[in-house]
Structure 1
């Protein structure tokens, strides 16, 4: 697990619910539970400061770190998708983003592609990306933030031919690969979930630190689906779709680990003095 990615998970699942700010000593202690050294944690924090995800302030000789506005937005979007409720019925519309960014701004073009993929868009052609979800406002924000509105067009459209909607999905996303990843997730966590359930039913002691580590790893692994699962409406999914089974396993295991994980976090967490 990369330190920077782990920091995102800890901020997203814990720190943002506790005033969004944490003392670096608490952070290094929490990250130490995963075998990460203090220099590795500090290096990851420095990278996130440079990239604009974190902000810092000093009180006396102590440093405190909080998530920037940009980081908060990303964490809120991620949380809305990870802990989502049932999707609405699909209205049959496709959100389309088409761009023509000049070669000298190639880095921005690559960044836009990454962001589109993260939002759940699929690539129909090299510079035309589609989603069955209404993401027009998100695209507007993104293109305004990167100052590339002159190179991007956004549409909400009906698809008139020639593929049927499920064929269109197959062209833009590798559904089999996503399903295989869900199968891996289920295989990796089903036994752990059942073993913990048995321990708890027998009233065996489970260390809070164990719950913290396992819950954080669980969220960390499940968060990866944000980058590959486009969150398609039910109507567009194949009959054999493992996303729902994986989601149920995630939610149940999460709820089982959460009380101990939170207790452990609270024993280590120190925010800034008021």
Structure 2
């Protein structure tokens, strides 16, 4: 795990719904809990600012950082996909995007392909991408941002063969390889979950924080390869369902201690006073929407007091 990726994970976990700034000392302490040096963290922060992922501000000799709207949107998309039910409904229709981007804009074309992959489209051919999900609105936003609307056409279609819809999905995504990756994830997480449940005394807060960030980091890699297909398009032995169950259970187990560790380190800009209750409510609401864990809600209420 690289420093920039860890910073994204921390912001996605704890600061995505927080509209204020966070002191660099908070980030240094949190990242130190993951084994990163202050020098590596400061370099990563500087690069994230230069690339438009973070905004920074100095007050006296202290630096404070906040998410930009660009990064907040990306983290919102990631959270929605990580914490949504793993069996989306499907109306049986395919959404198709075709493009003809001039060769002189090859870099824009490559960037478009990366964005389409991130959204959940798969390549039926080099310039025709499809998805079973209703993603046209988000695709239009990407096209608008990249100035590519005039080179693209969008269609809604039904597949009439030859072959079943599942075979079509297999052409667009390497489902066997993705399934294998889920199997590896399951084999790694299952024993860690069992060990954490059986540990007495429970894991200390700093260990919960480190384990939860690493868990999210591992799981969010699937956002780049798994489009989140509905059940009719998946292999019958799809291991993604088990992976999502293990992720949620381990995430929930680690969340109380991890949140306490974060709140103990958190400091906001002095001219925008810290509102711990609001931050806790934000975290509780997001985690509650994921799985409504009673134990977690109770723990966070205790922290708020």
Q: TM-score, normalised by structure 1?
A: 0.96
Could you tell me whether the CA contact under 8 Å between 1:9 and 1:216 is conserved in 2? yes
The farther-off stretch of 150-159 and 75-84 is 150-159
Q: CA deviation at 1:46?
A: 1.7
- In the TM superposition, 1:80-99 aligns within 5 A as 80-99=80-99
- In the TM superposition, 1:1-274 aligns within 5 A as 1-199=1-199, 203-273=200-270, 274=272
Structure 2 SS opposite 1:95: strand
Distance 2:202 2:182 in 1: 30
The runs of at least 4 aligned residues of structure 1 exceeding 3 Å deviation read 17-20
Q: CA deviation at 1:143?
A: 0.2
Distance 1:205 1:128 in 2: 51
Could you tell me whether the CA contact under 8 Å between 2:209 and 2:258 is conserved in 1? yes
Distance 1:88 1:17 in 2: 25
Structure 1 SS opposite 2:133: coil
Could you tell me whether the CA contact under 8 Å between 1:11 and 1:20 is conserved in 2? no
Structure 1 SS opposite 2:16: helix
The farther-off stretch of 138-147 and 26-35 is 26-35
Could you tell me whether the CA contact under 8 Å between 2:93 and 2:132 is conserved in 1? yes
Q: What is the CA deviation profile of residues 179-227 of structure 1, one whole-angstrom value per residue up to 9, with x for unaligned ones?
A: 010001011110010011011xxx4142100000000000010010100
Structure 2 SS opposite 1:14: helix
The farther-off stretch of 15-24 and 138-147 is 15-24
Distance 1:263 1:255 in 2: 13
For structure 1, list consecutive stretches of 5 or more residues without a partner in the other structure.
Answer: none
Distance 1:148 1:234 in 2: 33
Could you tell me whether the CA contact under 8 Å between 2:88 and 2:229 is conserved in 1? no
Could you tell me whether the CA contact under 8 Å between 1:97 and 1:128 is conserved in 2? yes
Structure 1 SS opposite 2:178: helix
Could you tell me whether the CA contact under 8 Å between 2:118 and 2:224 is conserved in 1? yes
Structure 2 SS opposite 1:196: helix
Structure 2 SS opposite 1:101: coil
Q: What is the CA deviation profile of residues 57-113 of structure 1, one whole-angstrom value per residue up to 9, with x for unaligned ones?
A: 122221111111111111111000001125442101111111111111111111111
Distance 1:98 1:41 in 2: 41
Alignment RMSD (CA, Å):
1.2
For structure 2, list consecutive stretches of 5 or more residues without a partner in the other structure.
Answer: 273-305
Structure 2 SS opposite 1:253: helix
Could you tell me whether the CA contact under 8 Å between 2:86 and 2:241 is conserved in 1? no
